[in-house]
Structure 1
Amino acid sequence: MLQPAKLKWRKLQKGRMGGKAYRGSTLAYGDWGLLATESGWVSQRQIEAARIAMSRHIKRGGRIWIRIFPDKPFTKKPAETRMGHGKGNPEGFVAVVKPGRILYEM
């Protein structure tokens, strides 16, 4: 799965997703692309699952380029934990996606 090799900080703030994507909104490598219509977080597991599904569908017919990278860590508290006691532990990585961003190319 995709994840950064090294981070400057273990835990980041959530941030806000506003506006449209200008970077990464045009085709660069392939002839076809999958475009995001809404903003949101795409986890490293979702990116890998979509890559596997696409590669199984095209078999050996083409090449796939992943245009997003999960570089933002997200945290999660354990189940049945009371409120407070600080921020949870890092659980995984997500890619922040804005509308208009190309996710995959073929």
Structure 2
Amino acid sequence: MALGCDLYFCECVLRLRQTHPDVTVEAAVPCPSQADAWPPDQRGRYERLVAACDFETLVSACYTPACMQRRDRYMVDHAALLIAAFDGSPGGTRYTVEYAMRRGLEIVDLPIVLEPAR
């Protein structure tokens, strides 16, 4: 899981699990040190969410330059559907969406509505 939408989506599915006990949640963790540099409040949130998941899959035993993409490929390869909040920017979400498209995975792209600056 990463900062941002990954954590929000995890919280939503954990809430859904309360009324639908057949729902399971898996945390795909790229490496043990993923959250080490995050702000303390977000690191605590991440740790609580991972602990609440039914499964935790550690994709790489240590950080490597490729472990985040390896985690993204793992998620796509084990998914029946990809739900993405994607604005077209380069980065991990773009890589994941493009990989899912190449794999023929169904994708639901949630629109991102930006509030005008005040």
Normalising by the smaller structure, the TM-score range is: under 0.3
Per residue, is there more helix in 1 or in 2?
A: 2
Q: Point out the structure with max Rg over C-alpha.
A: 1
Per residue, is there more strand in 1 or in 2?
A: 1
Q: Which has the higher contact order (CA 8 A, sep 6+)?
A: 1
